[in-house]
Amino acid sequence: MSHNVKILPGATVCEDCTLEGDITIGGGTVIHPRVTIIAEGGPIIIAEYCIIEEYSTIIHKKSDKQENPPKPLFIGAHNVFEVGCKLESPCGHIGESNVFECRSFVGVDVKIGSGCVIGAACRLTAPQTLADNTVIWGSEHHVREALEKQPSQLLQLDFLSKVMPNYHRLRKPNVHKRQPSTRQSQESSPKP
């Protein structure tokens, strides 16, 4: 398995985490220590401003009908993976602004829209598609629609990105925004 981990500027990624395979981590995303992210079935692309807490596991599983080239697992912006949650997915897309609460489990054939909440210790293993703003909670996996949007995590992200470097070793960003070449900047400048 190749180890091609791309960390964009602004991301806070602790050194003490396991990142295996082709993984791209968007700017503003915070990855705590002891996180495991494995891209065995294809690339994983984590968008900006996600929070992935301790002992969380994200695995892009190989499927029996593996496409060539493999389809990436895209995790949208502003998702929160709380302590000990686990996501196993060969699906191509996880929406935005979802919360995977502590010790929740999302299995292989579950597709997640945007604005969903998977409650603490809830296990989703049956094939299903969660519509936008679905909330699942309780030991009996009650389902309802959220009445309001998930609150923004930007203040927490800002706090974590400032405090974590004081207590943990971080991986440095290894992808930098390219400056336009001299020729391109001359072409785009206004002509007299």
Region 157-175: mean pLDDT is 93
Reduce the DSSP state of residue 67 to 3 states and report it.
Answer: coil
Lowest mean pLDDT among 92-101, 136-145, 150-159, 179-188: 179-188
pLDDT at res. 99: 96
* The pLDDT value given to residue 24: 97
What is the C-alpha separation between 16 and 168, in angstroms, rounded? 8
* % of residues, the chain, pLDDT over 70: 89
> Distance (Å, rounded) from C-alpha 4 to C-alpha 33?
19
Look-up of token digits 């969660």: 130
- Residues 35-57 as b/e (b if ≥16 CB within 10 A, e otherwise) read bebbbebbbbbbbbbbbbbbbbb
pLDDT of residue 190: 52
Q: Distance between CA atoms of 163 and 113, rounded to whole angstroms? A: 31
Q: Answer yes or no: is pLDDT of 68 > 60.
A: yes
Q: What is the mean pLDDT of the chain?
A: 89
Overall pTM > 0.95: no
- The tally of CA atoms less than 13 A away on the side-chain side of residue 80 is 19
Any idea what the CATH number is for the domain that residue 28 is in?
A: 2.160.10.10
Q: Is the pLDDT of residue 185 over 70?
A: no
Q: Which residues contact 17 (CB under 8 A, 6 or more apart)?
A: 31, 32, 33, 34, 35, 36, 37
**H-type alpha helices, the chain:** 154-167, 182-188
Neighbours of 85 (CB within 10 A): 25
Q: Residue 32 belongs to what domain range?
A: 4-188
pLDDT band at 179, cuts 50/70/90? low
Residue among 90, 4, 19, 93 nearest 56 (CA): 19
Report the domain count for the chain. Answer: 1
Residue 183 has what pLDDT?
A: 52
Contact yes or no for 147/118 (Cβ under 8 A): no
